[in-house]
Amino acid sequence: MDLWLLFLIHLGSCLVGLGTGSNNEEEEEEEKHEDTHPPGHKSHHWNYQDIHQWDSDYPHCGGPEQSPINVVTGAATFDSSLGPILLSGYNVPPEQTLTLENNGHTVVLDLPDSLLIIGGLSQTYRAAQLHFHWGSQSDPGSEHTVNGQRFPGEMHVVHYCAEYNSVSEAATHPGGLAVLAVFIQEGEEENPTFQQLLPFLQNITEEGERTEIPGFDIRGLLPQRLDRYYRYNGSLTTPPCYQTVNWTLFNQTVFLSQEQMELLEDTVHADHDHILQNNFRAPQSLNGRKVLSSFSSKVGGRRLPGAAPNPAAASPAPDDSAQNHSSQGTGESVDHSMSTGDMLAIIFGVLFCVTAIAFFVYVRRTRSRSKRLGSENKANVIYKAATAEDNLA
């Protein structure tokens, strides 16, 4: 073998990749193949220990409209035009399996793009994935805080504007992403919908592992009331921190049993066998941004605070006749961030793949045998992009 020739091919293909933005189909396919192989050789160039250095590698992280934030409820501006969040297609049948992955930063459930937000935002948004942020048994780990209070956990359901072809494309355009954020608290009872998801964490304890789980009613992971929320313009909460997220933070919270909470906090590992905990970013400066609220806490007397440790989930919710989870959501704001870290991972992955592909092509040619790469379809592209997002958020 002529090693120098190989080296030059690698170098050349890297340069070509940089110059063209790596649009080569083969490269993308190779990248996907890489990505579908389990244990994580995906190297992410950021982590929660280096959080104060994110902006040196990812300049957007130092921008003026970053997420998360602390919501001061008394300072939020009531906006009567913010209608209930309306969802469609959220009830996924059990025959349709969903991929759950430990990406080393969080656990990510890929969502079909048939799940939609059809109300509460000015455009239609397609679901990409959902993921979680948590602390540890001794400390809460939500990203957003409310009046300075941090909640035990936070779920982000990431969507992208339907006018774009993929979440990765949308992620670089203002308003391209909409994230629904749900605060997670601990309660007395087991949450039956979360029970369709959490036990599978035991199958993906190592970074890069993934498993297929039966579809279920994703709507059930959200609070009953989707009409009460805060809205603001922000960013992905992980590198590359693109400031393209239209955030919706629900005022009502969801509750997990103590056992379920511990499953979330203590099961999955990041690299080097560390338990993955405290995967949240601290609140960022508002820098003059406005936080809107879809509801007025003054009119009509004081409502049960969503954060009340009470069985909020059990209290009848007038606006949410929600037993019909299938294609019915209420609530209006959908905004939030996508994972910018994923985007970076994709970029690096593509560059890596280019060199890898060049290598494989060379080897194949020298063996005068061409192997056909499996054809990847669009769904896979979206799937991959979603995976990348998870890394970010």
Ligand X SMILES: *[C@@H]1O[C@H](CO)[C@@H](O)[C@H](O)[C@H]1NC(C)=O
Residues noted as catalytic: 105
Interior angle at CA 132, CA 131 and CA 136, nearest 5 = 160
Residue 129 DSSP SS3: strand
Q: Binding string, 203-222, against ligand X, x = CB under 6 A? A: x-------x-----------
Looking at the Cβ atoms of 195 and 203, the one nearer to ligand X is 203
Using CB positions, name the residue nearest to ligand X.
175
Q: Judged by CB, which is closer to ligand X: 13, or 333?
A: 333
CB-based contacts of 246, cutoff 8 Å, min separation 6: 121, 175, 177, 178, 179, 231, 233, 333, 334, 335, 336
- State the Rg of the chain over Cα: 21
Q: Does 323 bind ligand X (CB under 6 A)?
A: yes
Least distance to ligand X, CB of residue 323, Å: 4
Q: How far is the CB of 373 from ligand X (least distance, A)?
A: 27
Letters for 186-205 (x = contact with ligand X by CB under 6 A, - = none) are ----------------xx--
CB 143 within 8 A of CB 128: no
Q: In angstroms, what is the minimal distance from the CB of 121 to ligand X?
A: 5
3-class secondary-structure state, position 337: coil
For residue 190, give both structure tokens.
Answer: 């087991």
Name 188's Cβ contacts closer than 8 Å, sequence gap at least 6. Answer: 255, 257, 311
Which residue type, as a one-letter code, is found at position 265?
E
Alpha carbons 302 and 148: distance in angstroms, whole number? 20
Which two tokens mark 282? 């601290």
229-288: which residues touch ligand X (CB under 6 A)? 231-233, 246, 251, 253
Tokens of 328: 């019915």
- The answer to the question of residue 124 lying near ligand X (CB under 6 A) is no
Nearest distance in Å: CB 390, ligand X: 19
Question: Does 56 help bind ligand X (rule: CB under 6 A)?
Answer: no
- Applying CB under 6 A, the site for ligand X has a residue count of 30
- By CB under 6 A, is residue 305 in contact with ligand X? yes
Residue numbers at the binding site for ligand X (CB under 6 A): 73, 82, 121-122, 146-147, 174-175, 183, 202-203, 211, 231-233, 246, 251, 253, 289-290, 292, 297, 305-307, 321, 323-324, 333, 335
